[in-house]
Amino acid sequence: KTQVEQSPQSLVVRQGENCVLQCNYSVTPDNHLRWFKQDTGKGLVSLTVLVHENDKTSNGRYSATLDKDAKHSTLHITATLLDDTATYICVVGDRGSALGRLHFGAGTQLIVIP
């Protein structure tokens, strides 16, 4: 059973627009949540990590929120660029240690058009 659901599956925006990606999960316990960016055929690059209840992070044009009560996270991308075209993957860690597992969403494919 999929424990990390991302929406939308895909999204097309025009350069300069803002967008919001959603992640809902059922992983328990939920130690931390990380957002990755994956360019086509490439590896995963960490964008941000959220740890605490109601955590908020900001990394340039990327900002993220986490609501552990609702088991929900959002990734906001402001003023999108063509280089933002990629798949964005939400990952929930059930522990912070080596004993834990990472639970991966299937990703949201973002396409930024001129």
Q: How far apart are CA 68 and CA 55, in angstroms?
A: 9
Q: Among 21, 30, 32, 112, which residue sits at the site for another protein (rule: CB under 8 A)?
A: 32
The nearest distance, CB 49 to another protein, in angstroms, is 8
Cβ contact 58:2 at 8 Å: no
Beta pairing class for 10-14 and 108-113: parallel
Q: Which among 16-24, 57-65, 67-75, 93-101 is the span making contact with another protein, rule CB under 8 A? A: 93-101
Q: Among 48, 93, 108, 110, which residue sits at the site for another protein (rule: CB under 8 A)?
A: 93
Q: Among 12, 95, 111, 113, which residue sits at the site for another protein (rule: CB under 8 A)?
A: 95
Q: Among 2, 7, 58, 78, which residue sits at the site for another protein (rule: CB under 8 A)?
A: 2
Tell me which residue of 75, 19, 9 sits closest to 48, measured CA to CA: 75
Site for another protein in 52-81 (CB under 8 A): none
Tell me which residue of 36, 53, 22, 45 sits closest to 104, measured CA to CA: 36
| Binding footprint of another protein on the chain (CB under 8 A) | 2, 4, 31-32, 41-46, 49, 89, 91, 93-107
